[in-house]
Amino acid sequence: MSQKSYTEEIVERSRKDSRLPVEKFGQNTYDLYCVPVEVYNKYKDEILRLSLSYQEWVAMEDDSVILQRVNQLTDTEIAAKIGLDEDTVRRIRCMAEWDIPMEVWRNAAEFKLRHRLEKPLGCTGRDIRNEPS
């Protein structure tokens, strides 16, 4: 019978199948998925601006109905542009996409409720002003 625990055996087998280099094994959970906080803070806004988080199109010169994308770079393209590796860019982007202050989420709900009250397409007798948004 093996001296390894069942969990140790699972870990070992998962490492073998992952094909990752040895230095990637045994990392703490933060390092598995995240970049150092200072790296994140340094690059997150630039990456958001270059990625699909901010989208910009311009009219093509031939007057085609299809607009030409300006930024909207892939992680590979962003990595090449700012001098980071692709995996680091992806980790930063995936965190930054959700790293919007909670106030903006509250404001979103208020925006929808107020806009709907101001610009109703249909009218009912029900008072919805105090209903949740």
Partner 1 sequence: MKEATERIKQLALDKGADAVGIASVAEIKKLVPQGYSPDDLLKGAKSVIVSGNRRYTSGTWFTSNIDVIHRQRAAMGGRDAVALAVARFIEKEYGYASISILPAMFDSGMNPVISLKVLAEVAGLGTRCMAGGIILSREHGLLGFVAVITTMELVPDSPLVEPVCPHPACVSMWERRKTTPCMEACSAIEGSIENSRLKEVRWFRQLCATRALTTMNGAYIRLLADIMDDPDPERRKYLAIGQARRYIEDPPGRGIWGRCIECMRVCPVNRNAIKLQH
Among residues 10 and 100, whose Cβ is nearest to partner 1?
100
Type of residue found at 77:
E
Among residues 10 and 59, whose Cβ is nearest to partner 1?
59
What is residue 69's three-state secondary structure?
strand
Least distance to partner 1, CB of residue 33, Å: 11
Rounded to 5°, the CA angle 59-63-67 comes to 35
Least distance to partner 1, CB of residue 43, Å: 15
Residue matched to tokens 């699972």: 10
Element (DSSP H or E) covering residue 27: none
Least distance to partner 1, CB of residue 110, Å: 10
Residues that bind partner 1 (CB under 8 A): 48, 51-59, 63-67, 73-77, 90, 93-94, 97-100, 102, 104-105, 107-109, 111-113, 115-117, 119-122, 124, 126, 128, 131-133
Element (DSSP H or E) covering residue 111: helix 102-118
Among residues 8 and 110, whose Cβ is nearest to partner 1?
110
| Cα dihedral: 74, 75, 78, 83 (round 10) | -160
